[in-house]
Amino acid sequence: MDITPEPDLHPLYPSTAHVAVSLSSHSGLTPSQKSKLVQHCLTRACLFADISLLQYLLSDSSAQPHVDLSLRDDEGIGLVSLTIHGFGGDSDRDLDREEVVRLLVSQGADLKPDAGKTLLSTLIRTDVDSSCIMHSRMDTFASRSFVVAANASLLLDDPWVFSI
């Protein structure tokens, strides 16, 4: 009977140091375990707007083969939407979220509409390019508000657009 504990592939607060050690060739993880770890860390980096972890995952040669920017959670929410909605309504994280979204878009993240209709899916349908300026903030009802510099007139009838 082997009582060796399984490696933690779902760390609560993943750090670049932990991921680097886990992805090294000496870690003993299988390629599928490494993929599972990277997918979890990628999701956490987006959810908590951890730009340093995301940059590491996208730039490290050990992590890159396991990065899937078309990843969706159990509810069909993509990485960009996950980042926009984020965890909590702390406005201090808005700049971090914006940077994470910009990085994801520049790296070719999947921008297909999510399972639910969101403003993001409207932006995609109208072919707003990644160079448009997108700012977000939490309004008093804890819903996400957006201001889009390009093609804003196409969004006026969208129920997800709230006045700022």
Share of the chain above pLDDT 90, in %: 45
Question: Residue 23 is encoded by which pair of tokens?
Answer: 């992805």
Q: Indicate if the pLDDT at residue 24 is higher than 90.
A: yes
Q: How many CA atoms lie within 13 A of 88 on its CB side?
A: 8
Q: Indicate if the pLDDT at residue 111 is higher than 90.
A: no
**Domain 16-155 indexed as CATH 3.40.1000:** no
Question: Which of 32-35's residues contact partners 24+ apart within 8 Å by CB, and which partners?
Answer: 33/7, 33/9, 34/66, 35/66
- In 3D, which of 107, 113, 58 has the Cα closest to residue 81? 113
Q: Write down the pLDDT at residue 152.
A: 42
Q: Indicate if the pLDDT at residue 151 is higher than 60.
A: no
Distance CA(117)–CA(112), nearest Å, equals: 11
Determine contact, residues 39/66, Cβ cutoff 8 Å.
Answer: yes
Q: Write down the pLDDT at residue 115.
A: 66
- In 3D, which of 16, 81, 82, 15 has the Cα closest to residue 43? 82
Percent of the chain as helix, strand, coil, to the nearest 5:
45, 5, 50
Q: Indicate if the pLDDT at residue 26 is higher than 80.
A: yes
Model confidence over 113-142: pLDDT tens digits? 776 555 444 344 433 344 433 433 333 233
pLDDT band at 103, cuts 50/70/90? very high
How confident is the model over 147-156, as a mean pLDDT? 40
Model confidence over 56-85: pLDDT tens digits? 999 999 999 999 999 998 888 899 988 888
How confident is the model over 80-91, as a mean pLDDT? 78
Q: Write down the pLDDT at residue 84.
A: 85
